[in-house]
Chains A and B, each alone.
Chain A
Amino acid sequence: MRAVGLTTLRGYRRMAVTSRLVIGASALLLLILASAAVSLSLGPVSIPASHVASIVLSSLGFDAAGFGHTERLVIEQIRLPRILVGAVVGIALGVAGATMQGLFRNPMADPGIIGVSAGGALGAVVAIATGMAGLFLLALPAFAFIGAMAASFLVYGIAAVGGRFSMATLLLAGVAVNAFLGAIVSAIIILLSDNEALREILFWLAGGLDSRSWEHVRISAPLILGGAAVILLMARDLNLLMLGDDEARSMGVRVGMARILLLAAAALVTGTAVAVSGTIAFVGLVTPHILRLLIGPDHRVLIPMSALGGAVFVTVADTVARTIIQPAEFRVGILTAFVGAPFFILLLIRNKRQVYSL
């Protein structure tokens, strides 16, 4: 069984990039559709699958009937936007994780671990605490982006001090930056007298997708899909960067430029994701890691697959989170941490026996 699986994977690795993409993406798209369908029907109001299908068809402009008005409202205004925000956030985290793992040549890198998410969260918290978030629609993602960007360049800068880039320093700098940014957030919470803002801020401490609306879809989807597209266009550069700066340079990559663009795009998608969902941990670490074992490290395949894989992960995790202890709701960020943290530890133990660049 295992041997058959390995042979199949080897055959898959030998295929051309386009075939690998089409096959892999179709499989993951099916998974997304299936998990979205299940998620649409589950909840405090249970809606039969046939009704879900009719509602979706009629929303798309087809002539379909056989469902209640409430059911339609629940699906169109509550569950569908929530699922879409979750999927878009999953895309962001999957892509950002794959990008950072490649960019930092480290399978442990992830926006959460190296402090990029914390930067985004701080940005969002500042936007809420100062009341900027209420002033205009894009304030929250803009602040989150600035925070994420600042954190990623700070951590990268620390790791690259003296011209020699160090993986160990990167992870340690991530720990320090995470702690520092967390302390600032705590300080803001303690000093804040505005209860409304306080409640909103607490949202970021455990990422969640509750009461996400179409507005959140409209804010996040263009930014995240745009950032992901930039990264996808640079997937080949990422392949070469993974081999080292000198290698990449001798193969025609403008290393400095490529790295800044990739970091900025990863910070954009991470910041935007944080702005609409808070920090959802470990998705960016786990998704690309598992996919790399299955489909190989070629980023032209890995980036789009991590996007779709992240979407599956968040959709499934959120569905479980909001249905597991009904009528109460669990936060999706808590659930992904429950799954992700043990996985990360497993990774650490396994890596002890492998040669990694740490």
Chain B
Amino acid sequence: MSSDKLQALSAEGLSYSVGAQTLLDNVRLHAEQGQFVGLIGPNGAGKSTLLRALSGMLVHQHGAVLLEGTDLRSMSSRDVAAGMALVSQIAPYTHGFTSFELVLMGRYPHLGRFQIEGSKDNSIARDSMRQTDTERFADRTLDTLSGGERQRVFVSRALAQQPRILLLDEPTSNLDVFHQLKVLDLVRELVDEGLTAVAAIHDLQMSARYCDRLVLLSEGRVLAEGTPEEVLTPGAIESAFGVRSAVYPDPVTGTLAISLIGPADAHASPASDNGAPAPVEKAPVAAHGVEA
């Protein structure tokens, strides 16, 4: 990693445990300005916990998180919020707020305590709703939206925050393929304009396609990190997920394609059908359909 590049977000020696359970173990992460870093790993690997730690949310964490070189602990929570936005995975309670009202809340960190959002804030909120294709829900209350629609509204709110760093926890988990690509395209576009993004992404092929760098987590530890080509090797996938796979360049998109062959335990073979996940052709086909 070149040292002249600005470190937008970095974490050293991050550890966090609840009771006897270690959720993060000495995690190190660096995101340069204008990079899209993907967090991948099996369920319970610590992706969400790492994102929460990066946003300074965990009070009893060990290690330091630096936002543009400044330790989060020495910053006011409002300054942190003005620089970094988080789209979390768990849908929060939204009793009766309309989409627009919620997106407008993204402006709070930029306003003085007694300042009320003005026309500039309104237009920023409206723009960010346009970017996620949600402006037609503006007047609807959030509880009347589907999970995916709501998720896009929350992405809009993070955009309205106009952060320099955007943290996303499974931003595409509730979305149909069209909106998965739309949201990730949008993040990619913003990253190309200078935003730094760190996102937990479930879908390995999506992570390979959109991210500059990947961090593979397993049991709270960093198993591998680097470019998608460096990280997504059959060996790494097997040791993190326990799944045998083949990795090759996708003939259509040119990015990595991963064929999951089957669980790596001795009894399972590719031919057996004891619940082995094998959606081999699905992702490339979907991607192709949208790109065409």
Contacts and interface: CB of A to CB of B under 8 A. Distances in A.
Interface of A: 10, 13-14, 16-18, 105, 107, 233, 236, 239-240, 242-244, 246-247, 249-254, 292-293, 296-298, 300, 355, 357
Contacts of B101: 13, 296-298
A59 B116 CA distance: 38
Interface bin, chain B: 35 or more
Contacts of A243: 92-94, 102, 105
Contacts of B79: 252
B82 to A, nearest CB: 7
B180 interface: no
Interface of B: 52, 55-57, 76-82, 85-86, 88, 90, 92-98, 100-102, 105-106, 108-109, 113-114, 116-117, 139, 143, 161
Contacts of A254: 77
A247 B109 contact: no
Contact of B80 (A252, A293, A355): A252
Nearest to A293: B96
A85 B98 CA distance: 36
Contacts of B90: 244, 246
Contacts of B143: 355
A243 B113 CA distance: 19
Nearest to B78: A252
B78 to A, nearest CB: 4
A251 B108 contact: yes
B113 A252 contact: no
B139 A13 contact: yes
Nearest to B96: A297
Given A17-B116, A253-B77, A242 B93 contact: yes
B93 A10 contact: no
A354 B117 CA distance: 31
A264 to B, nearest CB: 19
A253 B52 CA distance: 15
Nearest to A18: B116
A246 B96 CA distance: 19
Nearest to A105: B93
Given A233-B113, A249-B57, A297-B97, 10 more contacts: A13-B101, A14-B139, A17-B117, A236-B108, A242-B97, A250-B86, A251-B106, A252-B81, A300-B116, A357-B93
Contacts of B78: 252
A240 to B, nearest CB: 7
Contact of A246 (B57, B94, B114): B57
22 contacts: A13-B101, A18-B116, A236-B108, A236-B113, A239-B105, A240-B108, A243-B92, A243-B93, A243-B105, A247-B92, A249-B56, A250-B86, A250-B88, A251-B105, A251-B161, A252-B82, A253-B77, A292-B96, A293-B96, A296-B98, A297-B101, A298-B97
Contact of A16 (B57, B106, B116, B139): B116
Contacts of B114: 233
A108 B117 CA distance: 30
Contacts of B100: 14
B56 to A, nearest CB: 8
Contacts of B88: 246-247, 250
A292 B97 CA distance: 10
A358 to B, nearest CB: 11
A49 B161 CA distance: 55
B97 A296 contact: yes
A324 B81 CA distance: 55
A249 B77 CA distance: 8
A293 B95 CA distance: 10
A234 to B, nearest CB: 9
Contacts of A105: 93, 95
A298 B98 CA distance: 10
A243 B102 CA distance: 10
Nearest to B97: A297
A252 B98 CA distance: 21
Given A16-B116, A292-B96, A251 B109 contact: yes
Contacts of A249: 55-57, 77
B85 A250 contact: yes
Nearest to A247: B92
Contacts of A357: 93
Contacts of B81: 250-252
A249 B114 CA distance: 19
A249 B53 CA distance: 12
Contact of B57 (A13, A250, A300): A250
B34 to A, nearest CB: 22
B57 to A, nearest CB: 5
Nearest to A11: B139
Most buried by B among A10, A236, A247, A293: A247
